[in-house]
Amino acid sequence: MPRLSEAPLNLLQQRLKQKVMAQTAEQQTLYERDFHLWLLQTIADLLAGRFDGVDLEHLVEELEGLANRDRREVSSRLRVLLAHLLKRLYVPNPYDYRGWDATIREQRRQLEEILEHSPSLRDYFIEVFDQAWDRALSDTRKEYPQVTFPEHWQFSRDVNDILSEEFW
């Protein structure tokens, strides 16, 4: 059986690939082809009251993603804040205090901003406090095994206090 030379074979493979890609693109939704354009189109449809054309499945998926992102950010920033509060309170290393203080201020500032824009996340802040504490405590204990840290948060659990008090 005769062999095709490399050039025609590559050309044939390339054309086949282009045909498959073209068919796939036709089958893809706007959401899959161009997310940014999908966003703009969805916004335009909603503003114009054209609700029949709105891709509800993907719109709900994106809105859920936004809500989850905000919750993850609260949880993550709270964990970092608590870890640095633990260091500042219990690790006797004045050389590091300035850096820990800066991180504490920044995490507090970011959390305040999130809660200002989404006050309902204050309840979530309280809900995830124990989990954030456990993770911060575990991480900090690994980092400073020679230091004795308390098992439980020993100060106020009021959101405003956590975001403002100097506990040291």
State both tokens at 67: 């809500």
- At residue 24 the predicted structure's pLDDT band, cuts being 50, 70 and 90, is low
State both tokens at 61: 């998926």
Mean pLDDT in the chain? 90
The dihedral sign for the CA sequence 129, 133, 135, 136? positive
pLDDT tens, 61-78?
A: 999 999 899 999 999 999
| Cα separation, 160 vs 102, whole angstroms | 18
pLDDT tens, 35-64?
A: 999 999 999 999 999 999 899 999 999 999
| Cα separation, 47 vs 142, whole angstroms | 52
